């Protein structure tokens, strides 16, 4: 591992949040705490190239004590992958050189970082996209040869992630983007080996995982983000029952997933009737793999939408429930999103018991790389 052996977060935490600051390991990845920076699309990479300000943006969060940074979604080398011109690429000498500087800055700050590899699929909309003459693609429009090209593009990106010194990688398999589109019957009408029954619908994702695993090596941690919801339907259900969820995940685990990043809008809500387990808790129970919980962590979510509309901050919430679920072993890692936009030092502040210094989430934080 190329990262520094010390980390700003390797300090004793106040007892109230102690479980969040225990070390965690998976494969060759060693983390000083359980707190992850969630991937958040920022659109601050002109022409798809992350510049010095992007490197400093991530390094500030490493200095602020984040155990693991997952980059914003960064698109693979396929003409229809990117949903916007300023979303970063993970291909091309210029973009990869930019990511090398990001890795160097984060490691110099003592942090760990993995890229999230992404293909937007049918969510590529409008004219503000690279190669606007290229139509969006989805399960119904990709030939088997096209699928092979996309799989190869993910494999190349995985190899580049390792070559550039990243500490692992994550595949974006949630939120209704391309991987997720193959998993859902409502967006995958295929009747060949990539559609139809559940086994067919999981084949594309499993092939991507296997390609990335082969390209990056078997000691390189591979995370997969999943979700029930999609960007166009917050009420969507990837799996209606725990049994269906297990059948969907099993081929992906067999292909080589190490950690499942379980994206929800509110981490504390029960996922299925008859149990108070959230999505991350169910996935860990069903698969035995480490999981990441995410969804309004540390944020008074009841105020979030009105706060955005009114241009004001949303209050910081108690972490008691989060700590209780971590102690119960419902999940292994916790991803924090919006609060880390407003407050790069949020992790260090909760570690040290400096709650009075916490900054509330502000809509202005969405508009710049602070």
Residues contacting 5, CB < 8 A, separation 6+: none
| Residue owning tokens 């685990």 | 253
Residue 1 has pLDDT above 60, yes or no: no
Residue 368 has pLDDT above 90, yes or no: no
Average pLDDT over residues 322-347: 95
* Its pTM surpasses 0.75: yes
What pLDDT is attached to residue 50? 98
> What is the β-pairing status of strands 169-172 and 113-118?
parallel
Residue 3 has pLDDT above 70, yes or no: no
What pLDDT is attached to residue 315? 63
Percentage of the chain exceeding pLDDT 70 = 93
What pLDDT is attached to residue 15? 84
What pLDDT is attached to residue 296? 86
For residue 177, indicate whether it is catalytic.
Answer: yes
From 57, 58, 177, 194, active-site residue: 177
User: What span, in angstroms and rounded, lies between the C-alpha atoms of 295 and 328?
Assistant: 18
What pLDDT is attached to residue 11? 67
For helices 279-287 and 242-255, the axis angle rounded to 10 degrees is 60
Percentage of the chain exceeding pLDDT 90 = 84
What pLDDT is attached to residue 6? 45
Average pLDDT over residues 184-210: 96
User: What span, in angstroms and rounded, lies between the C-alpha atoms of 314 and 91?
Assistant: 37
What pLDDT is attached to residue 317? 74
Average pLDDT over residues 66-86: 97
- Set out the domains of the chain in order of their start, with CATH numbers: 15-367 (3.20.20.70)
Q: 301 pLDDT band (50/70/90 cuts)?
A: low
Q: 303 pLDDT band (50/70/90 cuts)?
A: very low
159-183 tens-digit pLDDT = 999 999 999 999 999 999 999 999 9
For helices 242-255 and 198-216, the axis angle rounded to 10 degrees is 30
Average pLDDT over residues 266-272: 94
219-252 tens-digit pLDDT = 999 999 999 999 999 999 999 999 999 999 999 9
Query: In whole numbers, what is the pLDDT of the chain averaged over residues?
Result: 92
7-51 tens-digit pLDDT = 554 568 888 899 999 999 999 899 999 999 999 999 999 999 999
């Amino acid at each position: 591992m190329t990262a520094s052996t010390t980390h700003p977060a390797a300090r004793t935490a106040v007892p109230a949040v102690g479980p969040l600051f225990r070390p965690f390991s998976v494969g060759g990845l060693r983390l000083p705490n359980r707190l992850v920076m969630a991937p958040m699309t920022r659109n601050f990479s002109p022409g798809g190239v992350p510049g010095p300000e992007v490197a400093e943006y991530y390094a500030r969060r490493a200095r602020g004590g984040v155990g693991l940074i997952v980059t914003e979604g960064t698109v693979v080398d396929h003409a229809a992958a990117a949903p916007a011109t300023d979303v970063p690429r993970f291909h091309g000498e210029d973009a990869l050189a930019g990511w090398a500087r990001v890795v160097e800055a984060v490691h110099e700050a003592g942090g760990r970082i993995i890229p999230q590899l992404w293909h937007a699929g049918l969510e590529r909309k409008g004219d503000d996209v690279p190669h606007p003459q290229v139509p969006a693609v989805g399960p119904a429009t990709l030939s088997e040869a096209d699928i092979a090209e996309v799989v190869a593009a993910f494999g190349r990106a995985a190899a580049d992630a390792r070559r550039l010194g990243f500490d692992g990688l994550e595949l974006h398999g949630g939120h209704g983007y391309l991987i997720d589109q193959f998993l859902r019957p409502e967006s995958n009408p295929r009747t060949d080996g990539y559609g139809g029954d559940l086994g067919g619908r999981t084949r594309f994702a499993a092939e991507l995982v296997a390609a990335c695993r082969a390209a990056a090596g078997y000691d390189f941690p591979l995370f997969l983000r999943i979700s029930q919801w999609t960007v166009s339907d917050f009420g969507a259900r990837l799996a209606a029952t725990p049994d269906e969820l297990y059948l969907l995940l099993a081929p992906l685990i067999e292909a080589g997933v190490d950690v499942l990043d379980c994206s929800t809008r509110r981490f504390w809500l029960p996922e299925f009737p008859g149990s108070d387990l959230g999505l991350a808790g169910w996935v860990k129970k069903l698969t035995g793999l480490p999981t990441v919980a995410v969804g309004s962590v540390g944020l008074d979510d009841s105020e979030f939408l009105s706060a955005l509309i009114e241009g004001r901050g949303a209050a910081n919430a108690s972490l008691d429930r989060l700590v209780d679920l971590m102690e119960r072993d419902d999940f292994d890692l916790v991803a924090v999103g919006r609060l880390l936009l407003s407050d790069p030092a949020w992790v260090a502040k909760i570690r040290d018991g400096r709650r009075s210094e916490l900054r509330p989430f502000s809509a202005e934080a969405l508009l710049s790389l602070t």
